[in-house]
């Protein structure tokens, strides 16, 4: 079991690591001349893999809440990278699609994202990655369980 110091700092360790990942990705995207944030990348790459998702589907797949997804999509629409189209049967729902510019942006951003991921995994192997996934998913489940 963790000692008091480890328990007290574990959130700070997660926050510190995530901040470094975002800073590195942001820097690499900027160097690549791609005007998106790591947060926007998550939505764009999700659409690149499965275009036409609803906002709620994007929220589920990106682990982001509805207001955050809506804000990101608003920004991406303003940049001309995505477009919202109403659902055929429910006017309250929308599907989000990449524009041609959005698709090109994802393709231009991919080398920066891959380089950042590679940087993060330097010195680690597949076993380390599997251990990381097991631990981070367990922590997530611990916080997701109802008491």
Buried b (16+ CB within 10 A) or exposed e, 106-144: beebeebbeebeeeeeeeeeeeeeeeeeeeeeeeeeeee
* pLDDT for the residue numbered 87: 80
6 located within any domain? no
**Residue 9 belongs to some domain of the structure:** no
| Stretch 73-86: mean pLDDT | 96
Question: Is the pLDDT confidence value at 147 over 80?
Answer: no
Number of domains in the chain: 1
Least confident segment among 35-39, 71-75, 138-142 = 138-142
Q: Is residue 65 part of a domain?
A: yes
- Per the domain annotation, does 5 fall within a domain? no
Which CATH number characterizes residue 41's domain? 1.10.10.10
Residue 1 has pLDDT above 70, yes or no: no
Q: Looking at residue 92, what is its pLDDT?
A: 77
- Domain span holding position 61: 22-122
More confident residue, 30 or 9: 30
133 lies in a domain? no
Domain contains 42? yes
Query: Does residue 40 form part of some domain?
Result: yes
pLDDT value, residue 7 = 65
């Amino acid at each position: 079991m963790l000692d008091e110091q480890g328990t007290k700092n574990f959130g700070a360790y997660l926050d510190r690591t995530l901040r470094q990942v975002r800073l590195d990705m942001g820097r690499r995207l900027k160097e690549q001349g791609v005007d998106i944030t790591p947060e926007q990348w998550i939505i764009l790459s999700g659409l690149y893999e499965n275009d036409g998702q609803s906002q709620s589907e994007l929220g589920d797949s990106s682990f982001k809440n509805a207001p955050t997804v809506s804000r990101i999509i608003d920004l991406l629409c303003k940049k001309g990278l995505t477009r919202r189209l109403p659902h055929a049967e429910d006017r309250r729902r929308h599907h989000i699609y990449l524009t041609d510019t959005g698709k090109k942006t994802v393709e231009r951003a991919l080398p920066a994202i891959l380089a950042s991921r590679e940087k993060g995994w330097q010195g680690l192997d597949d076993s380390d990655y599997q251990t990381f996934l097991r631990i981070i998913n367990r922590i997530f489940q611990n916080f997701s369980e109802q008491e």
